[in-house]
Structure formats: structure tokens, C-alpha cells
Amino acid sequence: MALHNMDPKRCPMPSQDPNIRNKNFEEVALGYTPEMAINEAKRCLGCKHKPCQSGCPVGIDIPAFIGKVAENDFEGAYQVLSTSSALPAVCGRVCPQETQCEGKCVRAIKGESVGIGRLERFVADWHREHSNTPATVPAPNGHKVAIIGAGPSGLTAAGDLAKLGYKVTVYEALHLAGGVLVYGIPEFRLPKSIVQQEIEGLQAMGVEIQTNMVIGKVLTIDELMEEYGYEAVYIASGAGLPRFMGIPGESLKGVYSANEYLTRVNLMKAYLPDSKTPIQKSHSVAVVGGGNVAMDAARSAKRLGAENVYIVYRRGMDELPARKEEIEHAEEEGIIFKILTNPVAVLGDENGCVKGMECVEMELGEPDESGRRRPVVKPDSNFVLDVDTMIMSIGTSPNPLIRSTTPGLETNRHGCIVTNGDDGLTSREGVYAGGDAVTGAATVILAMGAGKHAAKAIHEYIQSK
Amino acid sequence: MFKIVERKELNPTVTKLVIEAPLVAKKAQPGQFIIVRANADSERIPLTVADYDRENGTVTIIFQVVGESTMELNELSVGQCVHDFVGPLGVASHLDGLKKVAVVGGGVGCAIAYPIAKRLHELGCEVHSIVGFRNKDLVILEDEFNACSDKLIVMTDDGSYGQKGVVTAPLEQLIEQGEQYDEVIAIGPLIMMKFVALTTKKHNIKTVVSMNPIMIDGTGMCGGCRLTVGGETKFACVDGPDFDGHLVDFDEAMQRGNMYQAFEKHAREEHCNLLHKTAE
């Protein structure tokens, strides 16, 4: 056994210089070299009780895969990863590891945790670049399952069910599979070619993906089960319906939902000079909200050439819901944080274009029922922020299309599908749901975890019939 | 990929395509729309379902060549495919129970008004159609409207065919002559729908308009197509495209419609230049 690396700090990951990267859409973090990966892997103590694994929503055997990396067996490491995760190159990049696997790492007690996400990313990238082993197509078990939505939750469930021999068809409303991985998370955080290759891996395993299929419109869930013979359906349609604030001026030209802005930029590639889909050329942009989506929108706007980009958030820096790493990246790239600020109106010019945003200053009062200190308006603090573009990133809710066309499907007052505990069973027999469609907007990895649980539950349900 | 089985130029700028899309054809209803992408790198654009044949599994779209995306679509011939064809989207028009309706169509909007007039006729409703065009060369679907209308009035702006003038004049005349319409359905340019709504408002006749804002996904996930209707924000792709014409904020919709005018003009010119080059 090789000696452990007892450096309290993790091996840094090379990345593009902030002042260069804020002008391009290429990936910010460049990834470990094999030497760096082995070196970092040796910081893992290989704990027997594996606290890190319990922090991973899809339960990857983390010490086992890192042990293989330390031994220079990258393909072996990939094999360990792929038994638990269908999309390791994605998760290694976008999971909030600090609150999951890395948050439980014993090395974090005296120093920094092992860079589990970076190692996962390294292994998945290494496999993609070096391995030519054809995918093993599992023996068919004769059962059919339909999945609604080709986002992280649907793709994970598809991968797990395909491995068990199910004939899986994924129905996707957009023209490309990937969900938020292709329309939401920008190229500079998650290159689309990587998403594409992970999806091709699933297809090689026998998963069929049908794009341009809006379930609820072109086919209903009842038709899928009665006419097409699917024994179970997994609804993973996400939470894509954007919220607006309801303040005056929100219909002015230059006010976008983050979904629209990011869909134009990412899915339709409006950042490319020869794109057929237009996007506003902005000088000053205000992004309202403080989550990861807000950071993505702000950093995209900067890359599209905006001089001033503001994050406008009604609470303080400590309350920002985005990942720390994303906030740091945004700050490095020159995004300006206007915290304790809330818009009250959008101001327009004579052509109906945004010319400013009227805001009020806030201060933090007593904690509310969510435990966060409630923002309160400071009297007479109105001021105008000069902007020509405003991006609303204050959250999304599940699309009503499926619930309005599926009789007997129970939903709550937020429009989220109600499921029975962990297995994702809905109020309809054979119909399971998970991811943002159930929880409302959450994270990629939680959606993947839900996909895994649902796949297991669907397998048990079909086998026991 | 969705195969084009028929193509017809209805006039110098308006083309009809019949496209093989059995699942869409099975569910489509008048008033609904589809999102189409001509090629792998094309923009997503909304077009209304102009007709459908459930038996043959085809859907008809009719479009006016106004910019780069419609030019790309117009360049495809029979046997070729459109890359993406999604639908049917939006809420179908509510036509049941109507006894007497005036259907008002303007320009290429007549392609959307026609399936509605046809469906109303099939339902036993008395249909008065008023269709308007800029000039004689742009008149489309006259025979089709004739076949399903109890009364048909064709208008041209320059008087080169039918009567001279805009569609609101004969509509107002019919109403003043005592025609009792349950509803007026207007489909065409925003400015036309706005004035139809203003005309019928005076006479307190329920008026439905089919809105055509900028769209991307067409499934309710971006809000790019939002409109103000009766003071509330609505997404045309999921709540519409049909709305009460007396409640729609047309001025705002017209303003939002020209958001990308500069980009579109540039794209169109680029595309035309490319065409020139290939021609040379």
C-alpha cells in the first residue's frame, strides 16, 4: 500500500485566468493531470466506515474508486464509479460536494477534505478519452418502462433500469436530451460535448431517447400505459416554469426569465457569432436572485460582453443560496454583488426597452420559519440602478402539462407531484415521479438520487407483479 | 426527422407544406400550433396548424417568408425533412356551441383562420368570413373559405381584388345591418386584431384573437411569449394562443414583437447574400 499524502490542503485544480475566461465560453476548471489525481487520491485514508459514501445521494463507493486512482488504475476506478452513477463526468463537475460527500470527509476535520468531485471528474474524463471498450448491452428481461423527461433524474433512472434488462424509452419535449444539463448549466461549467457523450453511453446500453415529444400534449401517460404497453412510467419532467415578481414594467423588452436567457445561450447557442437564435446585446445587466442559476446567468451575460453585471439579492452575502465556489468564480470574473437590495419596478424608455431598475435597500430582521433572517424594506431608500437588461432568477415551479392531463395524479399546492416516501410512487399505480417535478427546483445530484430510488422501486414493483 | 410530402406556393411569399407527423396529426385541433426547426442549427419557430389528416398522418403548415428561419423552411422540397416538429401545442380553440360567428383573417393569418372556419362549418355554425390582403397577388385560400362560409368578403388594401379597404369596415357594416354574432374570431397581424377588437367592443360582441408572440420552447418553460391579458401575465404557448381580444394589451405585444428587429434584419440580409452567391 502506497504511503498516504498527509498534506492538509488539497491539490489545486488548474483553471483559466478570470480576466480571460470572462470573455469566452470555454470550461473554467481545466481538471487534474494524472499526477495530480494520484497525488490527491493518496490523501484519502480509505476509512472503513466510509462517511463520504453516506453523503453521496447515489451511494458511490468513494474509497474504493479513489483507491484505484491512487494505484494508477484509472479504468478500474471508472468501473467502480459506473456501478453507482450513470453520469460521473457531469456529477464531478456540478454536484455541491461541500455539502455532500466532501462535507463528510474525515480529512476536513484538520484541513481540507479530499477532492472527491475533482477525482470523479478526472476518472470520467480519462475513461472518455482513453477507453474504447464497447458498452455491454444487458440481456433483455422483456419488460418496458417509459420515462418522461431526459434530465438528470430521468437519465439516471433510464441507466439503472437498462442495466437490469428493461426496455427503456425516454420521452423528451425539447429537441435535445439532457434537460437542465443542456439548456440551463452553461458550457463554461459543463461542456455540452461531455453531456452528449454520457447520453450516447446510455443509448449504447439500449436506452431509446425520443425527442420532440411533449407528454401531456402528443401522448398522455394513460396512452403510454394502455396503448403502448409500458408497465411503469417515471415522471421526471422537472420544474421549468419560471416565476416573475409581478412588479410594474416586467413586460418591457430586455426583461428575461433566467430560463429564457440561459436556453437561448446554451441550448440555442446564441453566444456563437453565427447562431440563428438572437440574444440581447447588453451594456448593464441586473440578475435578480442569488442561486446557482443566477450565477450562471450573470456569468453568461458577462461573457456576452456586458460591461456591468449585477447580482441583485434581497438578503446578505451569507444567505446567498448559490454554491460558494460559484460565488467566488463570479466575483473573480467581475460580477458586482448588490446585496440587501430588492427591485420594485422596471423602468422603460419610449421604445418599450428597459432603461433602469428601481430598487429599495433592505435590512435583515428576525429569522422567519425557514430559519433565515427576514429581509425588511428600509424606508425611503429607493434608488435607480441603470441597466438595459434584467434577468429574473427567483425560482421555478413544475410545469402543469402533466398534472393537468393525468387523471388521479395527486399534486400539492405548489404543483409538485406527491409521492410516497423514498420510492417515488405517486397516487397512480405503476406511475413514479422524482427530481424537481416532486421537490420543486433543487440540485442535479438530488434529482439523480431520486432517479436511482425510483428505478429500484420500479424494478421491485414489476418483478412482484 | 419529419418528411415533407407536399409543397405548394400559395402566393409569391406564402408557402404551404404538408408534413408527415402521425402522432401530431392524431391529436391536433384547430387553434393549436407546432414548433419547427428546419435544419440542425435552425432557430425554433412557432407556426399554427393549418390543417391535419389523421388518416394519412400529416399536418399542414402555411407560412409567410419574412426572415431567415422561414427562408430556410421555404428552401426545403418534397422528400426532404424538417429537423424538428413538435406539437400539438397550446390550447385548442373553443368552438362548440357557437351558432353564428364572423371569422376575420388578415394576410397569412387566413391560414390559421381557415381551419377554424372549416371546423365551425362542420359543427353546423353559420360562418361569415372576412379576409383581407395587401393586394390581389397575395390572396390565399379563397376557394377553401368559400366552401365553408355562408358569406365571404374578400378585401384588399389597394382594391386590386374584391373590395377596397381594411377588414374592419365590412365587419362593422354587417354588425350594423343587424347580424347577431355569438362571437368574432380574428387572426392576423397584431394591428388588425387590435382594430377588430376595438370595433366589436363598441357593439359588445365577444371577440377571440390568436396571439403570435416570440417563442422559443413553446412548452411554458421560459416566459418569452408572455402577454398581459386583463392585467395578468399569461404565457401564450400554454395559456393561449387564443385570448379575449377585449382584454389583451396589444400595444405592449406589438412592442415586444419587435425586440430582435435589428438582429432579424441582419440575419435576413446575410441569408439573401448567401443565396446571391450560390446563384452566381
The reported pLDDT for the residue numbered B274 is 54
Assess whether pLDDT exceeds 80 at residue B275. Answer: no
How far, CA to CA in Å, does A283 sit from each of A311, A388, B263?
15, 7, 17
Average pLDDT over residues B181-197: 96
Is there a contact between A22 and A334 (Cβ–Cβ < 8 Å)? yes
Please, which residues have CB within 8 angstroms of residue B171's CB and are 6 or more apart in sequence? B102, B104, B130, B184, B196, B199, B200
Strands A336-338 and B84-89, sheet pairing: unpaired
Assess whether pLDDT exceeds 70 at residue A183. Answer: yes
Which residues of A touch chain B, with CB atoms under 8 Å apart? 173-175, 211-214, 217-219, 240-242, 244, 246, 250-251, 253, 256-257, 259-260, 263-264, 268, 275-278, 280, 351-352, 396, 399-401
Average pLDDT over residues B56-74: 93
| Unique residue bearing C-alpha cell 420532440 | A212
Instruction: Sort out which chain B residues have CB atoms less than 8 A from A213's CB and list them.
Output: 23, 86
How close, in Å, is residue A439 to chain B by CA atoms?
A: 17
Instruction: Sort out which chain B residues have CB atoms less than 8 A from A242's CB and list them.
Output: 221-223
Among B86, B249, B271, pick the best mutation site for testing chain A contact (most A Cβ within 10 A): B86
B255 lies within 8 A of chain A by CB: yes
Average pLDDT over residues B200-219: 94
CA A414/CA A425 separation, integer angstroms: 18
CA B28/CA B32 separation, integer angstroms: 7
CB pair distance less than 8 Å for B221 and A278: no
CA A142/CA A109 separation, integer angstroms: 50
B1 lies within 8 A of chain A by CB: no
CA B91/CA B42 separation, integer angstroms: 25
Interface A-B, measured as beta-carbon pairs within 8 A, has a size of 102
Nearest to B220 among A241, A268, A278 (CB): A241
Instruction: Sort out which chain A residues have CB atoms less than 8 A from B237's CB and list them.
Output: none
pLDDT in tens, A271-303: 998 889 999 999 999 999 999 999 999 999 999
How close, in Å, is residue B223 to chain A by CA atoms?
A: 7
Average pLDDT over residues A358-366: 94
CB pair distance less than 8 Å for A352 and B220: no
Assess whether pLDDT exceeds 70 at residue B88. Answer: yes
Residue of chain B whose alpha carbon sits nearest to that of A179: B221
A429 exposed, middle or buried (CB, 10 Å; 0-12, 13-18, 19+)? exposed
Mean pLDDT check: name the lowest of B5-9, B63-67, B156-160. B63-67
CB pair distance less than 8 Å for B221 and A241: yes
ipTM, interface predicted TM-score of the complex: 0.90
Please, which residues have CB within 8 angstroms of residue A380's CB and are 6 or more apart in sequence? none
CA A25/CA A3 separation, integer angstroms: 40
pLDDT grade for A450, boundaries at 50, 70 and 90: very high
Assess whether pLDDT exceeds 60 at residue B276. Answer: no
Instruction: Write down how long chain A is.
Output: 465
The reported pLDDT for the residue numbered A366 is 85
Instruction: Sort out which chain A residues have CB atoms less than 8 A from B267's CB and list them.
Output: 276, 278
Q: Bigger pLDDT: A402 or A255?
A: A255
CB pair distance less than 8 Å for B216 and A263: yes
Average pLDDT for chain B:
92
Assess whether pLDDT exceeds 80 at residue A132. Answer: no
Instruction: Sort out which chain A residues have CB atoms less than 8 A from B27's CB and list them.
Output: 217-218
Average pLDDT for chain A:
93
CB pair distance less than 8 Å for B68 and A211: no
Instruction: Sort out which chain B residues have CB atoms less than 8 A from A352's CB and list them.
Output: 252, 255-256
Residue (of A84, A78, A11) closest to A50 by Cα position? A84
Please, which residues have CB within 8 angstroms of residue B74's CB and are 6 or more apart in sequence? B15, B63, B65
pLDDT in tens, A52-69: 999 998 899 999 999 999
Mean pLDDT check: name the lowest of A76-85, A139-148, A303-312. A76-85
| Unique residue bearing C-alpha cell 395524479 | A409
| Unique residue bearing C-alpha cell 412557432 | B46
B217 lies within 8 A of chain A by CB: yes
CB pair distance less than 8 Å for A175 and B84: yes
The reported pLDDT for the residue numbered A355 is 97
Assess whether pLDDT exceeds 60 at residue B277. Answer: no
Strands B84-89 and B33-37, sheet pairing: antiparallel
Report the 10 Å Cβ neighbour count for B218: 28
CA B91/CA B30 separation, integer angstroms: 9
Strand partners, B243: B209
Question: Which three-class secondary structure state does DSSP give residue A82?
Answer: helix
Cell of A175: 429537441
Nearest to A251 among B43, B252, B267 (CB): B252
Q: Which of residues 52-81 of B touch A (CB under 8 A)?
A: 68-69
The reported pLDDT for the residue numbered A371 is 75
DSSP for residue A421: G
The reported pLDDT for the residue numbered B5 is 97
Residue (of A119, A142, A128) closest to A31 by Cα position? A119
Assess whether pLDDT exceeds 50 at residue B279. Answer: no
pLDDT grade for A465, boundaries at 50, 70 and 90: confident
Instruction: Sort out which chain B residues have CB atoms less than 8 A from A288's CB and list them.
Output: none
Assess whether pLDDT exceeds 50 at residue B280. Answer: no
Cell of A300: 453568461
Is there a contact between A60 and A85 (Cβ–Cβ < 8 Å)? yes
Calculate the dihedral angle through the C-alpha atoms of B138, B142, B145, B147, rounding to the nearest 10 degrees: -170
The reported pLDDT for the residue numbered B278 is 45
Assess whether pLDDT exceeds 70 at residue B272. Answer: no
A290 exposed, middle or buried (CB, 10 Å; 0-12, 13-18, 19+)? buried
Is there a contact between A43 and A4 (Cβ–Cβ < 8 Å)? yes
Mean pLDDT check: name the lowest of A37-41, A214-218, A395-399. A395-399
Instruction: Sort out which chain A residues have CB atoms less than 8 A from B226's CB and list them.
Output: 244, 251
Is there a contact between B250 and B193 (Cβ–Cβ < 8 Å)? yes
How far, CA to CA in Å, does B91 sit from each of A240, A336, B32?
19, 42, 6
The reported pLDDT for the residue numbered B109 is 92
Annotated binding residues of B for FAD: 62-64
pLDDT grade for A453, boundaries at 50, 70 and 90: very high
Residue of chain A whose alpha carbon sits nearest to that of B38: A276
Average pLDDT over residues B34-52: 94
Assess whether pLDDT exceeds 70 at residue A237. Answer: yes
